[in-house]
Amino acid sequence: MSLLNQQTGPFYRVRACAKINLTLDVFSKRADGYHSLASVMQTLCLHDEILLRIHAGPGITLECEVPEGSAVPADSSNLVYRAAESALEAALAAGQTSWQRQGQGVRILLRKRIPTQAGLGGGSSDAAATLLAVNRLLGLHLPAERLRAQAASLGSDVPFFLTGGTAVARGRGESIRPLPDLPRLWLVVVKPEENVSTAWAYAALDSVPERASHRATHRMEEALQAGDQERMIAFQSNDFELPVFARFPRLAWLHDELTMAGARTVHLCGSGSALYGIAPDEAAARAIAGRMEGRFPFVTAVCTTTRAEADPFASHFPAC
Ligand code: C5P
């Protein structure tokens, strides 16, 4: 019987949206080993679902439902577990101890839909949604600044998901500036068999000789502020494409397949291995996905979300 079938205490069901990077400029490696970057990030309707319940017993219990053929650890190595733990630690540090005195813990069920090692930010998004949900579930009242610090300590992409929608990330990814919502875009996301490790991708970028610093993010921000859809499509770029396509030629081939199937522009998601292709409209996105289905482990037609829709607790969410 699922842990969540035990009907005690308040219960939350939250969404954790995937993301793409409309631009991803990676600059130099810093003294702390991370790279400075600039990226326009965008949430998608593709999402995981997280169910949380207060438990009359201490500690955190995590259960995962994953699609056939994929594996996600349901232990303390999972970012969901670590996010819940980090919210509880922050609460204790702030003197919020009533849940502990009452011997309460948290039970969590993670329903995974976002493919892992795809560059879609699934683990980071789960972590951000869990931070917000545990904060609300146990009435911890952690201030936004504290949540942002906890998010950054969990991973470079986690702070973006506290904001969602369209936003610029700088620093190592933790410095977030929200941008106005884009008009809805339809796209196709394809994850091939290959997996790309983020740490490997950054190291591979460092070994590219005479790497130029791109200004795609800056140009993209200008296009977005001006509401210029054509330039917004044209300015998409991702610095990881050069080393990742060189190491995984099948991804370069998939790029061309998506273009030939009708995508207007195709780019790598984060450091890969998934690719996204922007479609002219919803019908075209579904037609392109139909042409790719059965040939790759994960193919889906999705749309971008607004900031309000990307809120884990949002009551209105696009059907896609
Ligand atoms: O922060 P996160 O744990 O997601 O990063 C995973 C790895 O990606 C880091 O260990 C580092 O090797 C690399 N990374 C980086 N610069 C960034 C973000 C990540 O070098 N800005």
Does 237 score more than 50 pLDDT? yes
Instruction: Kindly list the distances between the CA atom of residue 142 and the CA atoms of 95, 125, 126, 129, 273, in Å, as whole numbers in the listed order.
Output: 11, 19, 18, 14, 35
Most confident of 58-67, 206-215, 248-257: 248-257
Does 7 score more than 80 pLDDT? no
CA of 202 to the centre of ligand 1 (A): 7
Does 178 score more than 80 pLDDT? yes
pLDDT confidence band for 213 (50 / 70 / 90)? low
Separation of first and last alpha carbons in the chain: 30
CA of 118 to the centre of ligand 1 (A): 15
In angstroms, the CA 229 to CA 273 distance is 26
Residues having CB closer than 6 A to ligand 1 are: 34-35, 37, 155-157, 172-173, 198-199, 202
Q: Which pLDDT does position 1 carry in this prediction?
A: 46
pLDDT tens digits along 311-320:
999 999 998 8
Q: Across residues 68-86, what is the average pLDDT?
A: 92
pLDDT confidence band for 27 (50 / 70 / 90)? very high
Q: Which pLDDT does position 51 carry in this prediction?
A: 97
Q: Across residues 80-105, what is the average pLDDT?
A: 90
Beta bridge partners of 167: 41, 178
Question: Lowest-confidence range among 57-66, 97-106, 119-128?
Answer: 97-106
pLDDT tens digits along 88-98:
998 888 888 88
Q: Across residues 136-152, what is the average pLDDT?
A: 94
DSSP string, 169-212: EETTTTEEEEEPPPPP-EEEEEE-S----HHHHHHHHHTSTTPP
Indicate the average pLDDT of the chain.
Answer: 93
pLDDT confidence band for 214 (50 / 70 / 90)? confident
Q: Across residues 134-141, what is the average pLDDT?
A: 92
CA of 76 to the centre of ligand 1 (A): 20
Q: Which pLDDT does position 91 carry in this prediction?
A: 87
Tell me if 174 sits within 8 A of 35, measured CB to CB. Answer: no
pLDDT confidence band for 236 (50 / 70 / 90)? very high
Report the nearest-CA residue for atom 13 of ligand 1.
Answer: 199
Nearest to 60 by CA among 5, 99, 112, 17: 99
Report the nearest-CA residue for atom 11 of ligand 1.
Answer: 199
Does 28 score more than 80 pLDDT? yes
Question: Lowest-confidence range among 62-66, 109-113, 212-216?
Answer: 212-216
Does 17 score more than 60 pLDDT? yes
Q: Which pLDDT does position 9 carry in this prediction?
A: 63
Active-site residue list: 19, 157
Place of tokens 């479609």: 279
pLDDT > 90 in the chain, percent: 82
Q: Across residues 265-281, what is the average pLDDT?
A: 97
Q: Tell me the torsion sign for CA atoms 155, 159, 165, 169.
A: negative
pLDDT tens digits along 108-117:
999 999 999 9
Q: Which pLDDT does position 129 carry in this prediction?
A: 98
- Which of ligand 1's atoms lies nearest the C-alpha of 202? 20
Q: Which pLDDT does position 215 carry in this prediction?
A: 87
Predicted TM-score (pTM) of this structure: 0.95
In angstroms, the CA 167 to CA 51 distance is 27
In angstroms, the CA 122 to CA 179 distance is 21
In angstroms, the CA 46 to CA 73 distance is 21
Contacts of 117 (CB under 8 A, 6+ apart): 195, 196, 197, 273
Q: Which pLDDT does position 43 carry in this prediction?
A: 98
